[in-house]
Amino acid sequence: MNCPHAAARDAASNGGAVVIDPMVQDLDAETARLRDAGPLARIELLGVPALTVTRHALARQLLVDPRLVKDLDAWGLWQRGEVTHEWPLIGMIDAGRSMFTVDGAEHRRLRTKTSQALTPRRLEEIRPAIEKFTGELLDALAEEGEKSEDGVVDLKSVFAQPLPMRVVGMLMGVDEAEHPMLMKRYKAFFSMLTPQEERLALLAELDVFYAALVREKTARPTDDLTSALILAEEGGEPLTEEEVVGNLKAMVAAGHETTIGLILNAVRALLTHPDQLRKVLDGEIPWETVIEETLRWDTPTTHLLMRFATEDIQVGDDVIAKGEGVVISYRAIGRDIEQHGTDADAFDITRPSPIRHMTFGHGPHICPGAALSRVEARIALSALFGRFPGLRAAVADDEIRKLPVMTQNDMAAFPVLLHG
């Protein structure tokens, strides 16, 4: 791997920190190690030390603590030049000025318009479009199935990946012709196999693309959220071009990558728990429950990078020192026994609801796209199983490969048979 920070060090030489493996395949083992390391665990990310939160209750507390900020300049390692743009995960933090990277009153200014556009009520307006995309992609799936000699199709590339791209593309006003380019670039952005120079280059190309789109929408506003962000004036200062670009790329990256994981992980969980799938298909348990349990049990985001302490923060007997970086390990939080019971590691849609997971975060930065992803997943799953009730995996579960991605939980492909 082309990565200067990836010096493999064992636990003894780094003060007992859990070394997060960029090529991780066994996420359950990693999650268990983190859970065992305590509520606030020391980790190492490609040679860079950080703390991570592995418990629901502590995350709930720290995610509303104003002493933890998103501003990269508050990071001691960054100030001292010990972390630079050579670090492969820097793109997860240094993502331009947007609602993802700013706190406080400025954050509200950057975020309000987007969250207003994504309320459940507003989303009812785009439901028919999501249903139409879903139907078209299911036709494509059926066609692929007929063309394929052994009947095997990749549920990811034909269905679960293009659907969120189309939805977020429509919402933000990104032409369909650009979707393959965007999907290809984001795949390379997240992959740990991509050399860092290549990742920096593709991010620069994306910035050029988004800036051109924002200029076009400034000249000719249309009925999309990008235009609304440009025109927004209520609540003070209008957003700058840089801020609109930042929000736009955050929306496209987040809306696309995380929803793929949600849809695929739900299908996989149901296919490996056929007794539970039966209950859903018989109408005993609603799709909403499947979605919430999937969000808890197999989170699309494994680790969220990063917040920085602006002063020392006492946490039990431990201290987050001023300048230290704090990650939130959402997968470990979803498997927290104190929150979800001793059977937290089991996928069980019959557990007492509501399932109080924290997969969309908490506090001011709570995912503004949560309702959108739920609507998308609800439509996608019910339509998929409605059309192909005999759907099954074409390979054994342990043959499904995870993408080599450190922060996200996404499959390389999901080969399925459509007709049992």
Residues contributing to the site for ligand STR (CB under 6 A): 91-92, 95, 100, 249-250, 253-254, 257-258, 301, 304, 408
Q: Minimal distance in Å, beta carbon 369 to ligand STR? A: 8
CA distance to 85, 189, 341, 355, per residue, from 352 (Å): 46, 39, 11, 7
Q: Minimal distance in Å, beta carbon 185 to ligand STR? A: 10
User: What single-letter DSSP state applies at residue 401?
Assistant: P
User: CA-based angle 262:266:270, to the nearest 5?
Assistant: 175
Question: Cβ closer to ligand STR: 276 or 408?
Answer: 408
Question: Cβ closer to ligand STR: 250 or 416?
Answer: 250
Q: Minimal distance in Å, beta carbon 260 to ligand STR? A: 11
User: Which amino acid, one-letter code, is at 348?
Assistant: D
Question: Cβ closer to ligand STR: 254 or 349?
Answer: 254
Q: Minimal distance in Å, beta carbon 228 to ligand STR? A: 19
Q: Minimal distance in Å, beta carbon 200 to ligand STR? A: 12
Q: Minimal distance in Å, beta carbon 386 to ligand STR? A: 29
What's the CA gap between 204 and 210, in Å, rounded? 10
Question: Cβ closer to ligand STR: 217 or 331?
Answer: 331
Q: Minimal distance in Å, beta carbon 30 to ligand STR? A: 16
What's the CA gap between 181 and 185, in Å, rounded? 6
Question: Cβ closer to ligand STR: 285 or 377?
Answer: 377
75 alpha carbon, distance to own chain's centre: 23
Residue with tokens 């910035």: 207
Helix axes 274-281, 370-387, angle to 10 degrees: 90
CA distance to 24, 349, 375, per residue, from 139 (Å): 34, 29, 20
Question: Cβ closer to ligand STR: 191 or 408?
Answer: 408
Q: How much helix, strand and coil, in percent to the nearest 5, is found in the chain?
A: 50, 10, 40
Q: Minimal distance in Å, beta carbon 332 to ligand STR? A: 15
Question: Cβ closer to ligand STR: 258 or 265?
Answer: 258
Which of these, 390, 402, 345, lies nearest to 142 by C-alpha position? 390
Question: Cβ closer to ligand STR: 327 or 400?
Answer: 327
What's the CA gap between 50 and 363, in Å, rounded? 21
Residue with tokens 């969120």: 164
Tokens, residue 294: 């999937």
User: Which amino acid, one-letter code, is at 335?
Assistant: R
